[in-house]
């Protein structure tokens, strides 16, 4: 027994206070469980504190600033527009503080007990919690693991927060850099790289894969590369990063493309090469009878239950995309299962959004994935933003809405959007796919005019071969 260690009892224990963890705690409390939540850092986790919320705040501000040039050409003149880096960071920070404070109030209202510290299993129904000044034990009846994920490290790149940066540095540093190298062409690199480019930084993006944003539709990749080029962002794909060195007030990154080796210099380099689930040895999962699967995630059933029937797992540490809204959903499934309710994870589709310039959003099957599954029984139709009245009024005519459907039945299989407000438009697609809607359903649903959402019935009409607002070749 460690000196100062004592044992407490918990009805339902939640480990991790991010979107999944705090949602599970609130729902379990609503269902009558007495809940204890253990969090080693700040309530809200990565998403609220250093991820989703501050990054979208920065992206929104940078987008508004970038729009000023276009507004001037359209008759709205803004003289001496410039960035105040200190005020910018204060705005980003304020958005974080408001939301994390709100989550704390919600947990308090739900009578959730919050314990600060890092948990590790010492048995199948007991954890040790190490805090700064004491160590305690908690025995539980049921436990929900929601430990989230952390940035993947890149060998040879040690973050010093001056020349070698992580994503947090790009969110909260009160400075607009002259130039920046971003290693990683996934959604985080594209989002934050393009945000800083809109603020005036010369950005170079390096990606090891043959294309940026691997997994999205090829035409979306092409659209983004074109827009990034217009913004002055250099994108290099198929690149192997060999090393980095600091020289004075700059960094030099050595890269290799094929047999060619060259060096790229900038004021700083940001490493954003993905995330890994927080399932380290310190958690001692084996002690709880919970094993890590072949893909480095915990294996769970449809109720989010692990091999230990009293331990559930949700979010980034189980299979599927590392998305906060996925964790929200799984949290409620786990909380309800832990109370004995008949529930299960039966989501048909998980929408995904990339807050790039322009935005990207998808739900369901991609074109190639659909053809791999269904062969020739697939119809694909597109409607361009440039033919939508609302997009033209907004001065945002770049992009398209693409639908993928079964040819025989017309059932909607997937929707992919690149363009302004794609993040909001995709929800209709997710609902339509969940409800088993068809192309005819989309075409016959009256949408308000003039709106971006009108592109749904317009794309459906293209699939039917009878478009109203674009000209197609007659067969």
Catalytic residues: 449
Cis peptide before 358 (omega within 30 of 0): yes
Measured distance CA(292)–CA(299) in Å, rounded: 7
Residue 173, CA distances (Å) to 128, 161, 162, 211, 282 in order: 36, 9, 10, 29, 31
* Cβ contact 182:176 at 8 Å: no
Alpha helices in 300-411 (DSSP H): 324-338, 367-374, 389-393
Give 425-453 as a DSSP string.
HHHHHHHHHHTT-BHHHHHHS---SS-GG
Measured distance CA(258)–CA(457) in Å, rounded: 46
Nearest residue to 118 via CA among 38, 196, 193: 38
* Cβ contact 251:268 at 8 Å: yes
Give me 396's structure tokens: 């945002």
Using N-to-C axis directions, what is the helix angle for 85-109 and 19-30, rounded to 10°?
30
Measured distance CA(343)–CA(340) in Å, rounded: 9
Nearest residue to 440 via CA among 396, 399, 403: 403
């Amino acid at each position: 027994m460690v000196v100062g260690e004592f044992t407490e009892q918990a009805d339902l224990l939640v480990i991790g206070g991010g979107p999944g963890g705090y949602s599970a705690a609130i729902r379990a409390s609503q269902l009558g469980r007495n809940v204890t939540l253990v969090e080693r850092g700040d309530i809200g986790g990565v998403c609220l504190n250093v991820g989703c919320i501050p990054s979208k705040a920065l992206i929104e501000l940078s987008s508004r600033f970038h729009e000023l040039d276009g507004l001037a050409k359209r008759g709205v003149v803004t003289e001496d527009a410039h960035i105040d880096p200190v005020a910018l960071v204060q705005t980003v920070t304020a958005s974080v503080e408001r939301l994390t404070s709100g989550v704390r109030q919600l947990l308090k209202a739900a009578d959730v007990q919050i314990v600060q510290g890092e948990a590790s299993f010492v048995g199948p129904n007991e954890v040790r919690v190490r805090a700064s000044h004491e160590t305690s034990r908690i025995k539980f009846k049921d436990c929900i693991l929601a430990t989230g994920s952390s940035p993947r490290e890149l060998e040879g790149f040690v973050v010093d927060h001056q020349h070698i940066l992580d994503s947090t540095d790009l969110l909260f540093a009160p400075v607009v850099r002259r130039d920046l190298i971003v290693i990683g062409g996934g959604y985080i690199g594209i989002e934050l790289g393009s945000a800083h480019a809109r603020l005036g930084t010369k950005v170079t993006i390096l990606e090891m894969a043959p294309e940026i944003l691997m997994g999205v539709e090829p035409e979306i990749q092409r659209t983004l590369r074109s827009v990034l080029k217009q913004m002055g962002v250099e994108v290099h794909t198929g690149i192997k990063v060999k090393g980095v060195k600091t020289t004075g007030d700059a960094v030099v990154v050595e890269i290799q493309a094929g047999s060619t080796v060259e060096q790229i210099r900038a004021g700083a380099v940001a490493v954003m090469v993905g995330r890994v689930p927080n399932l380290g040895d310190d958690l001692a999962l084996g002690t709880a009878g919970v094993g890590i699967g072949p893909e480095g995630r915990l294996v769970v059933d449809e109720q989010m239950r692990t091999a230990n029937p009293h331990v559930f797992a949700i979010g980034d540490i189980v299979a599927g995309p590392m998305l906060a809204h996925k964790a929200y959903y799984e949290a409620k499934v786990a909380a309800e299962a832990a109370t004995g309710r008949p529930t299960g994870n039966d989501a048909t589709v998980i929408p995904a959004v990339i807050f790039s310039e322009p935005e990207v959003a998808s739900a369901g099957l991609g074109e190639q994935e659909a053809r791999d599954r269904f062969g020739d029984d697939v119809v694909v139709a597109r409607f361009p933003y440039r033919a939508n009245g609302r997009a033209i009024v907004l001065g945002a005519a770049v992009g398209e809405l693409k639908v993928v459907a079964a040819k025989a039945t017309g059932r909607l299989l997937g929707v992919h959007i690149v363009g302004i407000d794609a993040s909001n438009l995709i929800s209709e697609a997710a609902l339509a796919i969940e409800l088993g809607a068809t192309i005819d359903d989309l075409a016959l649903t009256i949408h308000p005019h003039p709106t971006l959402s009108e592109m749904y019935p317009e794309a459906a009409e293209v699939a039917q071969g009878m478009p109203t607002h674009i000209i197609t070749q007659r067969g």
